């Protein structure tokens, strides 16, 4: 097959593999890294949430460290997801090899995401899913390329990916870096994974080595370039705190743009799935946990905490109120200060 003969993959079925096996030793934690919370949900839920925008036919989450805990959390967020176990962490290529048997019979585009990389956008995933190359990598221009793997480009797209520790000085001077996220034709991926070796500085099976294998078989390999901020992986508590700040800043800006009044934006905290209708008014120091919907023209007064609840149009909550899971407030309901409600329905008015 010649390099330019591959057709666009727009409309091909998509399967997701989410890598969530790492221990995250730099978190200094007994909790698996992907279970640390960002925007009130476990880290992996962000990749899962964005991946859903592709309407995937199948989702496989690769677990390892703390597999049982991770599996339970995954089932809560995506009951349809299948779980693969990577009992030894022998690299990204090895992780994908554990997932592929659960995609037997799938023909289409496989996208490999990381459970600790929460900010990839739906637009970027759509570009990866629809790219004509048989194997496509998400790259980014790094402000400080540091220890990232480098993407070596040529006349026909991506020539190779070189890990930092295997790179010479000339290659280390390249600023186009590898995020690790890839999209591949399922058949090409199966074929190439079967040929992966571990002859490198780490003794691991790198997913990135597929570029050479796919090219040798005459397939086109290429790069989709994303924003560096999208590719941020979380490895430490400090990075988790920075990611939380970045998420909250974006969520507040979106709320204001969508017609929500925030009296003091910097003191309002959102969850990944917070839904607020236009003309709602949110006072200062309000915290939203997971699973909250606020309809238009409702008002949440200062110092309230809400999770797993629904507040209908025109209702007023607080100040200093707590709505817990299962609280349903009808239209124009008023919940006063220092009230706590759970598993209760308050009818209109």
Alpha-carbon separation of residue 51 from 14, 15, 46, 128, 271 (angstroms)? 10, 9, 8, 11, 18
CA count, 13 A, side-chain hemisphere, 60:
21
Q: Which of 26, 147, 237, 278 is catalytic?
A: 26
What is the rounded distance in angstroms from the CA atom of residue 141 to the CA atom of residue 225? 8
Cα 81 from chain centroid (whole Å): 15
* Paired sense of beta strands 37-38 and 41-42, if any: antiparallel
Kindly give, in sequence order, each residue whose CB lies less than 8 Å from that of residue 178, ignoring residues fewer than 6 positions away: 137, 138, 139, 148, 149, 150, 151, 161, 208
What tokens appear for 304 in the block?
A: 């309230």
CB atoms within 10 A of CB 1: 10
What is the rounded distance in angstroms from the CA atom of residue 204 to the CA atom of residue 198? 5
Active-site residue flag, 109: no
What is the rounded distance in angstroms from the CA atom of residue 118 to the CA atom of residue 240? 10
Which residues are the active-site residues? Answer: 26
């Amino acid at each position: 097959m010649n390099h330019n003969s591959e057709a666009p993959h727009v409309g091909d079925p998509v399967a997701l593999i989410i890598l969530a096996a790492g221990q995250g030793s730099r978190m200094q934690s007994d909790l698996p890294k992907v279970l640390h919370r960002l925007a009130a949900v476990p880290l992996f839920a962000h990749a899962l949430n964005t991946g859903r925008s592709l309407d995937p036919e199948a989702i496989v989450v690769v677990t390892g460290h703390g597999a049982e805990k991770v599996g339970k959390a995954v089932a809560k967020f995506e009951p349809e997801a299948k779980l693969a176990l990577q009992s030894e962490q022998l690299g990204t290529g090895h992780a994908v090899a554990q997932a592929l048997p659960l995609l037997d019979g799938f023909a289409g585009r496989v996208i490999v995401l990381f459970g600790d990389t929460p900010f990839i956008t739906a637009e970027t995933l759509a570009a990866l899913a629809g790219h004509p190359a048989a194997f496509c990598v998400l790259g980014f221009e790094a402000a400080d390329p540091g220890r990232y793997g480098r993407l070596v480009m040529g006349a026909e797209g991506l020539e190779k990916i070189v890990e930092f520790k295997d790179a010479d000085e000339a290659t280390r001077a390249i600023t186009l870096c590898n995020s690790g996220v890839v999209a591949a034709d399922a058949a090409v991926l199966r074929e190439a994974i079967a040929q992966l070796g571990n002859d490198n500085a780490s003794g691991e099976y790198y997913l990135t080595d597929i570029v050479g294998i796919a090219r040798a078989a005459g397939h086109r390999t290429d790069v989709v370039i994303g924003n560096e901020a999208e590719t941020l992986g979380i490895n430490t508590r400090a990075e988790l705190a920075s990611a939380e700040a970045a998420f909250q800043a974006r969520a507040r800006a979106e709320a204001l743009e969508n017609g929500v009044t925030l009296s003091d934006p910097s003191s309002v905290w959102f969850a990944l799935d917070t839904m607020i209708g236009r003309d709602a008014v949110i006072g200062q120091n309000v915290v939203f946990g997971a699973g909250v919907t606020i309809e238009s023209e409702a008002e949440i007064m200062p110092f309230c905490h809400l999770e797993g609840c629904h507040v209908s149009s025109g209702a007023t909550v607080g100040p200093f109120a707590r709505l817990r899971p299962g609280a349903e407030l009808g239209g124009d309901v008023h919940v006063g200060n220092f009230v706590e409600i759970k598993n209760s329905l308050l009818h209109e008015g």
